[in-house]
């Protein structure tokens, strides 16, 4: 077991599967197709991100450095949370970017989402965690790779 401690943006408890992206996640390209299709899960649609392309992200811990892309990024996160098809966690190795931060805040305040967001987990976190790993996240920002 390996343990990392990050900064809590929105806390909560999670135990489940990790999906890992070693590059910034383009929220519009990743989530929009599933949202527009009124899908019952998010299948990552960004073909430029081979780490997560065509993977189910709903209910998973999305481990990433940051989000990238257009200014609609926060709104896209809010929309998928309103649909209940969002990842359970956004676990950032770096500081959360302003677009993802806005999306988390919109999701929590407007949608009463329990989207967990932890940042500043460090480069070693992203180098250690693998897609398919079971992880545990606690309220204080501790992330354990089990």
pLDDT tens-digit map of 77-99: 999 999 999 999 999 999 999 99
Q: Where are the beta strands (DSSP E) in 21-115?
A: 25-26, 61-64, 67-68, 89-92
Residue 3 structure tokens: 């343990």
Q: Determine the angle formed by the axes of helices 73-83 and 98-111, rounding to 10 degrees.
A: 30
The whole model's pTM is what? 0.97
pLDDT digits (tens, 9 = 90+) for 20-65: 999 999 999 999 999 999 999 999 999 999 999 999 999 999 999 9
Cα–Cα dist 134/28, whole Å: 27
Runs of H (alpha helix) within the chain: 27-36, 73-83, 98-111, 123-128
């Amino acid at each position: 077991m390996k343990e990392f401690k990050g900064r809590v943006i929105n806390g909560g408890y999670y135990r489940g599967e990790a999906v890992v992206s070693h590059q910034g996640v383009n929220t519009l390209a990743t989530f929009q197709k599933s949202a527009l299709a009124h899908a019952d899960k998010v299948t990552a649609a960004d073909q430029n991100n081979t780490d997560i392309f065509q993977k189910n992200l709903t209910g998973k811990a999305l481990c990433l450095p940051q989000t990238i892309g257009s200014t609609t990024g926060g709104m896209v996160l809010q929309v998928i949370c309103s649909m209940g098809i969002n990842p359970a966690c956004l676990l950032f190795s770096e500081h959360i970017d302003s677009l993802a931060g806005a999306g988390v805040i919109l999701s929590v305040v407007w949608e009463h989402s329990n989207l967990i967001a932890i940042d500043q987990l460090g480069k070693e976190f992203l180098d250690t965690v693998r897609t398919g790993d079971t992880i545990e996240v606690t309220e204080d920002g501790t992330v354990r790779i089990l």
